[in-house]
Amino acid sequence: MSKLAVNIPGLSLKNPIMPASGCFSFGQEFSELYDLSRLGAIMIKAATHQPRLGNPTPRVAETASGMLNAIGLQNPGVDHIIEHELKFLEKFDVPIIANVAGTAIEDYTEVAEKISQAPNVHALELNISCPNVKEGGIQFGTNVESAVRLTESVKRVSKVPVYVKLSPNVTNIVEIAQGVGEIADGLTMINTLVGMRLDKNGKPLIANKTGGLSGPAIKPVALNMIYQVRQAMPDIPIIGMGGISTVDDVLDYISVGCDAVAVGTANFTDPYVCPTLIDALDARVATMGLSHIHDIKGRAYQ
């Protein structure tokens, strides 16, 4: 499968396919369905300093070719994740990308310092774009200065490369990407778009009122944002995500300049989607006569 192997800072990926954070929990449930060592990497669910209970229900709602979620970063806290969830994942030959979240800079640095020392964590994904928590999250990701300051602080304490997950809920994503791109080792994009669905009585269906829109509906938005960022920053590693469910989607993301891709919502539609995509991509690269998947990287703007 060397035609699919990808190397980016901290990460030696067997293939460019990985589950996106928040859609895979910590891998335990999926390990009963297939061998997690097949995956390029795993982006685990966001870790915060203290355990978080998350938001009231309903937390999810389907929308046309997509879904809204407002889970609210429910997780058992970084210490528990290191002792149990990451420990469990050690038996698989797969690099872990740990998603780090918080409400203040100190929360982020505390989590980043601890979790980046776990032996199987090969990179961090800095979550400055969660739209579903009252404090922190997206507020760091919509302002260039605060995004840069947070990235600097985390970069200082992290033992592994730091990727920053960008929010699409901004006026100018290239500006933010260029700001954090000066410091970060790579970018992951995009997080969910803030959205709303109403119930039959005309009230917001999700208890949090708004939720993050994901799924095939957001793919055109993500493609365009990556297309813009990649041309402004030709060298920065980018892991792309947003509505990927087929091998053609994967090719589109590589075509706009991604190094690798993450699959989110599609894991709910079909829990076997990641291994299915890996096999399909392997076959497609052969059919297309490519010597490596990156032969088509960036072809959208070349």
Partner 1 sequence: MKHLMRILSVEEIADNIFEMVLSGEITKEMKVSGQFVHIRVSPYTENVLRRPISIANVDADKETLTIIFRAEGDGTTKMSKMQVGDDLDVLTPLGNGYPLEDFNHVLLVGGGIGVPPLHELSKQLNARGVKTTHVLGFNSKKDVFYEDEFNALGDTYITTADGTYGKEGFVTDQIELLETEFDQFYACGPKVMLKVLNDSMDIDGYISLEERMGCGIGVCYACVVPKPDGSYAKICSDGPVFKKGEILL
Contact yes or no for 122/10 (Cβ under 8 A)? yes
Per DSSP bridges, beta strands 238-241 and 6-8 are unpaired
User: Residues 6 or more apart from 271 whose CB is under 8 A from it?
Assistant: 30, 33
* Number of residues in contact with partner 1 under rule CB under 8 A: 34
Tokens read off for 27: 């891998």
Smallest distance, Å, CB 271 to partner 1?
6
Smallest distance, Å, CB 272 to partner 1?
6
Does 157 help bind partner 1 (rule: CB under 8 A)?
no
DSSP notation for 215-284 = SGGGHHHHHHHHHHHHHH-TTS-EEEESS--SHHHHHHHHHTT-SEEEE-THHHH-TTHHHHHHHHHHHH
132 in a labelled binding site: no
Smallest distance, Å, CB 223 to partner 1?
15
Looking at the Cβ atoms of 240 and 243, the one nearer to partner 1 is 243
- Helix 144-157 to helix 105-115 angle, to the nearest 10 degrees? 30
Does 25 help bind partner 1 (rule: CB under 8 A)?
yes
Contact yes or no for 263/251 (Cβ under 8 A)? no
130 belongs to the catalytic site: yes
172 in a labelled binding site: no
Looking at the Cβ atoms of 100 and 213, the one nearer to partner 1 is 213
Site residues (CB under 8 A) for partner 1, limited to 44-103: 53-54, 57-62, 64-67, 69, 71, 74
Task: Kindly tell me which residue out of 272, 288, 299, 301 binds partner 1, with binding defined by CB under 8 A.
Answer: 272
CA gap 243, 11 in Å, rounded: 23
Does 245 help bind partner 1 (rule: CB under 8 A)?
yes
Tokens read off for 24: 């895979």
Task: Kindly tell me which residue out of 90, 270, 288, 295 binds partner 1, with binding defined by CB under 8 A.
Answer: 270
The residues annotated with a catalytic role in the active site are 130
Which residues would be at the binding site for partner 1 (CB under 8 A)?
22-25, 29-30, 33, 53-54, 57-62, 64-67, 69, 71, 74, 215-216, 243, 245, 265-272
